[in-house]
Structure formats: structure tokens, C-alpha cells
Amino acid sequence: MSEEAARELPADATKATVAIIGSGNIGSDLMIKVIRLSKSLAMGAMVGIDPASDGLARAKRLGIPTTDRGVDGLIAMPGFEQIRVIFDATSAKAHEANAAALAPYGKQLIDLTPAAIGPFVVPVVNLDDHIDAPNVNMVTCGGQATIPIVAAISRVTPVAYAEIVASIASKSAGPGTRANIDEFTETTSRAIEAVGGAAHGKAIIILNPAEPPMIMRDTVFCLIDAADPEIHERITSSVEKMVADVQAYVPGYRLKQKVQITAVPDGQPVGTLTAGVEVTHQVSVFLEIEGAAHYLPAYAGNLDIMTSAALRTAETLAARDLSEAQA
């Protein structure tokens, strides 16, 4: 066992101890967020497989116990039993193995990969529904950015079809993201339906190589059967409220322009998208997500919204545990 792995994990009765598996960009950004922002979480361990990774080196400098032996090294750490929540910021395939290894220990897992072993969770939409799930999935960066908008519309009127386009800077897409492109589109599409409430969902991701790198942009396009102007006003209000709710934990999340609700042009062949369901109007919402630049540049809003959503999820779990302990 390495010297780092042998160190005792920190104990703080007022905070829930967490570990992060994955010492890459997402895991490192999440670690900084836990340290700087959270009043209810304490870093217990940073776990990787590359001894030379910047994430492990930074964790060591910050006095956080580390291991470069992956999930097996984490389980072997003295004080492992103190860890309440484990974030997995690796890859879809790696998470399957990690979840299986951790299953006997009763830890609550927050999955930042597209593995989707557990239920999809978007904090502002359905976290309360899955607060006791042993493994929750943060969908994808595009899902965290756009599903709240689909849900905001579907709360007012049924959404026959929802399509999202997530455009991110190529530089913000690391090896893990690129290796999981197929899982990204499949997972996000399913979550648009399961969490967002759309009858049919589709997701597209664009890696933009522009220089200087662009801030994350997302487009949400929904088809609805609602000709009443009053319903349009309610949709706009619902979307604006949802944006404010997301901004509570992702300050750089914002509408790029006003919500657009227009009549579907005569003769436009939308039946193939809606499986023949009649629709009258299309709703277009344009978003911009600027990262907080805790670890990565501000243009990496795609990573920031994932780590911010995961942090909010863990803090909600910690608050629930504290409430139960005080009851």
C-alpha cells in the first residue's frame, strides 16, 4: 500500500465524507468544488489509476489521501468505512466495474458517466424521487443543461417531441468524453423522455474546434399542441423559473435570448418526429453555460454543470442524513 493510501481519512462529524474516483478533469474540478464551496461535504479520498495525473498530485498537495490503485485501493484505505458518498468520474465501462466492486459496502454512488446503472437524476427536476437510490446517474452534461427546460415545458403542456443540441468546445472534451459519444446521445435521449417528460427525445452533440474556444451552447427544440397564447405565457414563465432554479447551483447558466414560441409552418413534415401526434407550435430555447473556472477554463461549462449537479446531489443527501440524525 502506498504512503498516501495508508493515511487515515479525515473525520468531521458535521460533514459527510466523500471520495472521488477519477483524477481527470471532471474529478479534479469536483474536488475543488467540494473544498471551496461545500459546507456539508469533506474530501476523504481522491482515487485514480495514473500515478502521474495532475488530479492526484493536486490532491496530495492539498493534504487529501490518494491512491493510484483505483477502486481496490480505495476499499483498502484505513477509514474507508467513514466514506458516505462516492462520486465516479471515470467512464461508462469503468463505472460498471467500480459499482460492482463497491456494491457490498453500502455506499451511495453518484455516477458522472453515461453508464446509467441507477436512475437518471437532474437535481431541479427529480432528485427527491431518488434520494434513497444506492446509485444515481447524472445523465450527461447536455442532459443536465437541457432536461430542466424540457421538464419546464412539459409541466405546462405535453411535449410530443424534444430535441437538444449541445455544442461544446473541442478542447473541453477529453478522452473520456470522446470515448463515450455514443453513450452520450443514447443516455441523453432516454433521459429527455424519462426525466424531461417528452414523448420522444433526441440528442445531438457537437465538438466545436473554434479558436478561441467557445462557451457551451445548448438549443432545446420542442413540439407541442398548444395554440392558446395563455399557455405560451405559462411556458415562458415556467422556463424562466427553471433557469433561475438551475442558476442556484450553476451561476453561469443563462438564457441566451427570449423563449421563442412559433406556429409550425403549414406543410412542415413533423409527423415523423411525433409519431403522428398532432402539434401546432414549436418552442425554441437557447442556452449558454459558462463554467466557474474552479479548475478548468470558463469555456468548459459542459464539465462545470456536471460537477455542479453532482455536488448539489451529494449535498442534498448529506442534508437528508443530518436531518434524520437530529430527528
Domain count, the chain: 2
Q: Give the pLDDT score at 11.
A: 53
Same domain, 13 and 30: yes
Residues 203-219: tens digit of each pLDDT? 999 999 999 999 999 99
Could you report the per-residue pLDDT of 251-268, keeping only the tens digit for each? 999 999 999 999 999 888
Q: Are residues 77 and 221 in the same domain?
A: no
* CA 125 and chain centroid, separation: 12
Do residues 152 and 289 both lie within one domain? yes
The angle, 0 to 180 degrees and rounded to 10, between the axes of the packed helices 54-61 and 25-37 is 20
Is residue 149 located within the same domain as residue 288?
Answer: yes
Catalytic residue annotation: 141
pLDDT for res 7 = 47
> Which pLDDT score, from 0 to 100, does residue 13 have?
65
pLDDT for residue 40 is more than 80: yes
Q: Does residue 23 have a pLDDT over 50?
A: yes
Q: How far apart are CA 14 and CA 305, in angstroms?
A: 26
Which residues are bridge partners to 44 per DSSP?
none
pLDDT at 276: 86
Indicate the DSSP class of residue 120: B
Over 70: is that where the pLDDT of 34 sits? yes
Q: How far apart (Å, rounded) are the C-alpha atoms in residues 308 and 24?
A: 16
User: 38 vs 58, 140, 309, CA distance in Å?
Assistant: 18, 22, 13
C-alpha cell at 8: 487515515
| Same domain (yes/no): 216, 119 | no
What is the rounded distance in angstroms from the CA atom of residue 189 to the CA atom of residue 139?
10
Q: Supply the CATH number for residue 94's domain.
A: 3.40.50.720
Does 123 lie in the same domain as 19? Answer: yes
152-173 pLDDT, tens per residue? 999 999 999 999 999 999 999 8
26 near 88, Cβ under 8 Å?
no
The SS3 call for residue 267 is coil
Relative to beta strand 159-169, strand 253-255 is unpaired
Same domain, 147 and 282: yes
**What grid cell was written down for 44?**
476523504
Asked whether residue 149 falls in the same domain as residue 284, the answer is yes
Over 60: is that where the pLDDT of 2 sits?
no
Whole-prediction pTM: 0.93
Q: Which amino acid is at 27?
A: G
Are 104 and 191 in the same domain? Answer: no
On whether both 32 and 147 belong to a single domain, the answer is no
Report the pLDDT averaged over residues 135-140. Answer: 96
Structural domain that includes position 269: 141-296
Mean pLDDT for the stretch of residues 84-102: 95
CB atoms within 10 A of CB 136: 26
Q: Kindly tell me if the per-residue pLDDT of 290 is higher than 90.
A: yes
- For residues 283 and 322, state if they share a domain: no
Read off the CATH number of the domain in which 287 is found.
Answer: 3.30.360.10
What are 136's strand-pairing partners?
110
How many Cα neighbours within 13 Å face the side chain of 173?
23
Together in a domain, 149 and 289: yes
More confident position, 324 or 85: 85
